[in-house]
Structure 1
Amino acid sequence: SYLLELEQRRDTGDFERLTKKEALKLEQLIAKLNRRLGGLKNMTRVPDLLFVVDVNREQIAVKEGNILGIPVLAMVDTNCDPDPIDLVIPSNDDAIRAIKLMVNQISAAANEGLQIRMAVQADEEVEEDEKYLGAATLAKLRSGDFADGDEASAEDQSAKPDTED
């Protein structure tokens, strides 16, 4: 992205070759882009879900989510139109306590989902290891019992050049 390119140019010292005015303008542009897009600059893919607190204030985000096919989860008050929202949470979107409560619950659910996904991936890795490795090798890996001779002989084998012709 343009922001990452500008930051890379700044970090490599490319701005030092520019005039003070040009460098200052680019620094201000970097600051502005970081303020507005800083949370998005390292995203590599489209998000799986868009959570919106105030639909009236974030109409552009809701429209973009609908255009890109991203499900929109939103806190919808009586003064909002729930039609463009996929998953509606009827809630007061003006009260700080209500916002904190909902954001904390959504955050906890996202963290729980991440933990579940990591556990499933770990189980899949174990199943894959069991599929390709023998029982004795797995037992050694789990216990950490590698004799020094096993490691040394492996190192010796890799260090010896093939002299057979």
Structure 2
Amino acid sequence: MHTINHTATTILPAPAHIVWQHLFAELNGTSTWWHPHNTFRPGPTPPDQLGGTTHVTVHTNGVNKPGPKIHFTATTTHITPDTHYAASHTGHFHGHTTIHLTPQHNNTQTHLAYTFTATPHGWPHLLPIGTVHANHTTATNTALTNLHRQLAAH
């Protein structure tokens, strides 16, 4: 099987604790900046706790548009508030995500490093890996651009 291994980095115009709040609001289902590609629904234990879960739906053609949907569950495996989040995945993607936040410029900005490493399972493994990787990269870059705009507006 092919593995997606994607890292994205960006500098965001807000302190790390604010970026952290926006990250977990999204993982808890606010659907503001990862929209229109991914939506999130928290499990019984929220994702900001060790062992917490988030059910992720990847809308391949966008939310509320026809087309296949990819589903996986992210389970929090490590959490250091305002600094580090890690999760393992099961479902259509098996693997892990890490997010590192590093304060910059006297904590007026935050460097965000996001890594997604996963292997498609079920019907998504039939898709060309180059297409899956390209779509993931585009969706992630769009999400981080949306987050940047959201933070800059505050």
Question: Do Structure 1 and Structure 2 share a fold, with TM-score over 0.5?
Answer: no
If asked which structure has higher relative contact order (CA below 8 Å, sep 6+), I would say 2
Q: Which has the higher helix share?
A: 1
Q: Which has the higher strand share?
A: 2
